């Protein structure tokens, strides 16, 4: 079985915090692929706040190309040998019926790629509210979840409850796309 870590998001805009999560998971988790799954419209977000989905997809692909080049150089310089050495962009949600729910996307991916074990990468802030997502309890039962720490979110007990992998030693990235859009950074 291949192991693929999926990092869902609007990436509106993509920032160094997202890329830091990707790099840390690649370097510290036993995965074969790291995929950024761009959501054209997250059901929790107002469409008016989102940049055009096709533009976000183009921007994400361009940014990931540059990121992969730098990641490859960093891996070579450090002598590291992770199984996964790059990030890919997955646009599956552009081809699914709305509303877009993580559970439905995960099931569709499983159907298309039965030889792959899919894991979800989330920040502690998102993990804290996952039980409230559409079929959130099912997601937590059926899929492995990798939780990246966020300042102010204590989720270790919840991680134990759902058998999620908590990346306790990961560096904190205190940045959000909302802060960037609001000109706070």
Rounded to whole angstroms, the Cα distance separating 6 from 148 reads 13
Rounded to whole angstroms, the Cα distance separating 71 from 77 reads 10
- Looking up tokens 């590291």 gives 80
pLDDT (0 to 100) of residue 55: 95
With beta carbons less than 8 A apart as the criterion, state whether 70 and 100 touch. Answer: no
Q: So where are the chain's domains? A: 2-181
- The answer, yes or no, to whether residue 180 has pLDDT greater than 90, is no
With beta carbons less than 8 A apart as the criterion, state whether 18 and 64 touch. Answer: no
Range 55-92 burial, b when 16+ CB lie within 10 A, else e: ebbebbeebbeebeeebeeebeeeeeebebebbebbbb
pLDDT (0 to 100) of residue 69: 96
Q: What is the pLDDT of residues 136-166, one digit of tens each?
A: 999 999 999 999 999 999 999 999 999 999 9
Rounded to whole angstroms, the Cα distance separating 45 from 185 reads 21
**Phi, psi at 111, each rounded to 5°:** -65, -40
Rounded to whole angstroms, the Cα distance separating 184 from 175 reads 10
**Phi, psi at 159, each rounded to 5°:** -60, -45
CATH number belonging to the domain at 2-181, selected among 3.40.50.620, 2.40.37.10, 1.10.510.10, 3.90.1150.10: 3.40.50.620
Q: What is the pLDDT of residues 41-68, one digit of tens each?
A: 876 666 677 789 999 999 999 999 999 9
């Amino acid at each position: 079985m291949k192991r693929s870590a999926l990092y869902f998001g609007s990436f509106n805009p993509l920032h160094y915090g997202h890329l830091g999560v990707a790099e840390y998971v690649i370097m510290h988790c036993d995965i074969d692929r790291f995929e950024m799954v761009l959501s054209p419209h997250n059901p929790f977000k107002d469409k008016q706040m989102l940049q055009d989905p096709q533009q976000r997809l183009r921007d994400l692909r361009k940014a990931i190309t540059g990121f992969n080049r730098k990641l490859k150089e960093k891996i070579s310089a450090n002598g590291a040998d992770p199984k996964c050495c790059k990030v890919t962009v997955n646009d599956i949600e552009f081809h699914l019926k709305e509303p877009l729910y993580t559970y439905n996307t995960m099931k569709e991916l499983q159907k298309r790629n039965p030889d792959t074990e899919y894991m979800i990468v989330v920040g502690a802030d998102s993990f804290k509210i996952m039980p409230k997502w559409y079929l959130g309890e099912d997601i937590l039962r059926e899929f492995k979840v990798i939780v990246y720490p966020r300042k102010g979110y204590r989720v270790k007990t919840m991680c134990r409850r759902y058998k999620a992998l908590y990346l306790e030693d990961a560096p904190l990235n205190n940045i959000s796309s909302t802060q960037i859009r609001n000109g706070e950074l």
